[in-house]
Structure formats: C-alpha cells, structure tokens
C-alpha cells in the first residue's frame, strides 16, 4: 500500500524516527496535537526503522484515524540518520522539527523553538540541561559534546539532543547517513546556514521500553566526526591534505637520502646496512603514494555522493 496525502503548505512538520516504541506512540501523537493544534497547521511523520514490535501497526492505525499523521515503514533497520533523511524528504512544512519517540522530548517546547526560527535562526537545537538518564549515558555524552563543540566550532551544549527545529530549506539541503544525525548543525553550517541557536528544553524520564543507547554508538559517532570534519575541510581540495603530507614526506626522505649519498661519495662510508637508508626510502615511497592519492582525489567527481536508499515497505 502506498497512499500519499496531499496538503497545502503547512506550518510545521514533525519527523519522528521510531524503533520499537509501540507503547509510546499514541501518547506522543496526543501530546503533539495538544501542543500544536490550536495555533499551527502541522503534520506528524512517523518513520518506522524496521521495528520488531507492533510499532508499524500502531503507526498505520494512527494514520487511519488522524489526518495529520503519516508513516514511512522500512523493511529493516537502517539507523536513525536514514530514518530522519526519509522524513526530511517527505516533510511539507515551512519548519521541520525532529523529536524522539520515547516521550523524553516534550512537544510543548516546539512553539518556542519555532518562534526562534521566525526571529531569524536557521536551526534551533534543544539542550537537555537536566537529564533523566543513567550516568553511563550522561558522562560519555558530556565528553562527546565537548569534543564535537571544539571540532565543529559551534557553541552548542547538546549536539545529540533529538529535539531540534529547522527552517525547511536547511533539511532540504543536507544529506544524512551513518551517524550523521548527531552532526546536523555542522552539515547546516557547511551549507551556509550559520544562524544556529540553542534552547534549554525539558527532558522526561523514559516511560516505556528501554534505551537503545550503547557505547558502540559513541565510537561510531566519533568516527563519523572525523569523516565529516575531513570532508568539510578537504572535499573540494583533497590535494591540499594528501599532497601537503606527501610533499613533506618526500622532502624528508629526499633529505635523508641526499645526506647518505653525500657521506657515501665524499667520505666513502658504507650506507647499505644503515637503518637511516631504509627510513629515507620508506618516507619517499609514502610521499609518492600520498601525493598520488591527492591527485586521484582531485580527478574524482567531487560532488558525487552515493546515497543509501532504504527499502520502503509501504506508506500510509
């Protein structure tokens, strides 16, 4: 079944990635309706990321009962970034708001965040200043946010907060994959959306189910941070990175070998068994390889991004 709901320009699109949150979805939809229905036209897009419980059936039921609700269901679990990307592509609102499905984000915060967007911000990120999470989650999160803040040079206290609000053009000009949902402010800044604000938001204890958090997510997140930092700085100029290092290694290796050649020919000293000779050769080989990598990178289509398209089971 693939049913598209036609609608005029809406005020707000709420995008909610869902993974095994069957119990919380009706309450979340009711809370969103209570927060927005009186003052805004809105839609709620639930993106079921291959849940193994009855979340997709709950979404279908809500979509049949509520005109504002629609759903996208994946055939397997692709991850939060892909779920958000699908929701962004489907969103019709002038403003797009993301929130988690576990009822820890408060929809009552949305009007104030939208007001900040109307006052000039491109993106408003929530800050869970008082968190209701175990220490095993809060301490790694603080470290993660500190490192990301320094690398990104964006003064946000909580990059990982699921509650964020965007102008529509922001989400339409970025592409998410891997764990990049953590770095949407960085992606937005790279595209020229530099007016990034932050709002302290309420954070509720988890009411149903269990957290999907794991330390592996932070490891994957840091690897993606390295990736996005490199791409942000060198996507259009790979030779500036690889070529610079390659030239420095070539100069170092060449200098070592010139020195050895000098003492060989002018002083008659043997150099065949000297470790310094092998170091000089190694540095020159590495230099040539890195320089060649930079050259090849310059020849590759710089703007090509292989997009991971999820297998959508059905839409409601």
pLDDT digits (tens, 9 = 90+) for 266-290: 887 788 778 898 999 999 999 999 9
Structure tokens at 31: 């809370």
Structure tokens at 26: 């009706």
pLDDT digits (tens, 9 = 90+) for 118-171: 999 999 999 988 876 666 566 777 777 788 787 778 888 888 899 999 999 999
Q: Is the pLDDT of residue 1 over 60?
A: no
* d(C-alpha 198, C-alpha 181), whole Å: 16
Strands 42-48 and 93-98: unpaired
Structure tokens at 176: 């998410």
Query: What is residue 2's DSSP assignment?
Result: B
Q: Would you say 165 and 116 are in contact if contact means Cβ atoms under 8 Å apart?
A: yes
Phi, psi of 108 (to 5 degrees): -65, -15
Q: Indicate whether this model's pTM tops 0.75.
A: no
Q: Would you say 261 and 281 are in contact if contact means Cβ atoms under 8 Å apart?
A: no
- What does the chain come to in residues? 316
């Amino acid at each position: 079944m693939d049913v598209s709901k036609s609608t005029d320009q809406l005020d707000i699109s709420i995008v909610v990635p869902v993974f095994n949150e069957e119990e919380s979805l009706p309450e979340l939809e009711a809370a969103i309706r209570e927060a927005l229905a009186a003052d805004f036209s809105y839609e709620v897009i639930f993106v079921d990321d291959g849940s193994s419980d009855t979340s997709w059936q709950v979404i279908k039921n809500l979509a049949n009962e509520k005109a504002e609700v629609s759903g996208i269901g994946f055939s397997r679990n692709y991850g939060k970034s892909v779920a958000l990307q699908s929701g962004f592509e489907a969103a019709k609102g002038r403003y797009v708001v993301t929130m988690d499905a576990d009822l820890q984000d408060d929809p009552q915060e949305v009007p104030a965040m939208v007001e900040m967007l109307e006052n000039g911000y491109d993106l408003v990120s929530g800050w869970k200043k008082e968190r209701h999470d175990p220490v095993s989650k809060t301490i790694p999160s603080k470290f993660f946010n500190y490192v990301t803040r320094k690398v990104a040079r964006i003064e946000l206290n909580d990059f990982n907060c699921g509650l964020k609000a965007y102008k529509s053009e922001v989400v339409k000009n970025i592409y998410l994959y891997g764990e990049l949902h953590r770095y949407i402010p960085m992606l937005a800044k790279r595209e020229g959306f530099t007016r990034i604000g932050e709002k302290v938001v309420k954070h509720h204890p988890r009411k149903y189910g269990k957290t999907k958090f794991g330390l592996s997510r932070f490891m994957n997140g840091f690897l993606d941070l390295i990736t996005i930092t490199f791409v942000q700085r060198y996507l259009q100029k790979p030779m500036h990175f690889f070529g610079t290092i390659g030239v420095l290694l070539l100069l170092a290796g060449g200098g070592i070998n010139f020195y050895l050649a000098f003492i060989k020919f002018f002083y008659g000293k043997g150099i065949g068994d000297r470790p310094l000779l092998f170091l000089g050769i190694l540095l020159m080989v590495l230099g040539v390889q890195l320089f060649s990598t930079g050259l090849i990178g310059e020849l590759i289509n710089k703007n090509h991004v292989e997009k991971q398209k999820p297998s959508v089971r059905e839409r409601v």
